[in-house]
Amino acid sequence: MLDIRLYMLQRLSALFMGPFVLIHIAVMIYAIQGGLSTGEILGRTQGSVTWFLFYAMFVIAVSVHSAIGLRVIVHEFLGLKGFALSTLTWTICVVLLFMGGRAVTAVTML
């Protein structure tokens, strides 16, 4: 159920996600050292183009990677294929993009 195109998309999205996860965790640990409040964190992230681009790319990578991974699992365990499988893949991708997009805009937009 994976052709070369989906395979490369999943590998390349993983390639991006690796550093994103490490940076996300490292900054989180660093930021709370002095006991930052939610308000103080939002004060730093809201209006920041850098954090918007960082988390926007993170969400895109996660949405693509997860949708393709779940596509394989659903096909092999439930036997779904063809149009139904493609619809499910796209639905998962769009739902994750929407949810992630909402979170990113809430944290980084003024």
Partner 1 sequence: MSDSVKLMDVAIWRGDATGGAYEHFEVPAQESQTILDVVSWIQQNQDANLTYRYACRVGMCGSCAMMVNETPRWTCRTHVKKVLDGNKLTVAPLRNLPVIKDLATDMDPFFDKWVEAEGVHHPSKTRDDAIELIDPKSSARVEASTGIECINCSICYAACDTVAGNTDYLGPAALQRSWTLYNDARDADKQGILDAVSGTGGCHNCHSQGSCAVHCPNDLNPMKAIAGLKRATAMSFLKNGR
Q: Residue 71 Cβ, how far from partner 1 at the closest point, in Å?
A: 11
Closer to partner 1 by Cβ: residue 34 or 77: 77
Q: Are 96 and 66 within 8 A, CB to CB?
A: yes
Q: Residue 56 Cβ, how far from partner 1 at the closest point, in Å?
A: 25
User: DSSP states of 36-47 as a string?
Assistant: --HHHHHHHHTT
Q: Which of residues 37-96 bind partner 1 (CB under 8 A)?
A: 72, 75-77
Q: Residue 76 Cβ, how far from partner 1 at the closest point, in Å?
A: 3
Q: Residue 11 Cβ, how far from partner 1 at the closest point, in Å?
A: 7
Q: Does 8 bind partner 1 (CB under 8 A)?
A: yes
CA angle, 38 then 58 then 44, to 5°: 30
Count interface residues toward partner 1 (CB under 8 A).
13
**8: Cβ contacts below 8 Å, ≥ 6 apart:** none
Q: Name which position in 3, 35, 37, 110 contacts partner 1 (CB under 8 A).
A: 3
Q: How far apart are CA 63 and CA 61, in angstroms?
A: 6
Cα–Cα distances in angstroms (integers) from residue 45 to residues 5, 26, 62, 72, in the given order: 35, 15, 20, 36
Q: Given the rule CB under 8 A, which residues bind partner 1?
A: 1-8, 11, 72, 75-77
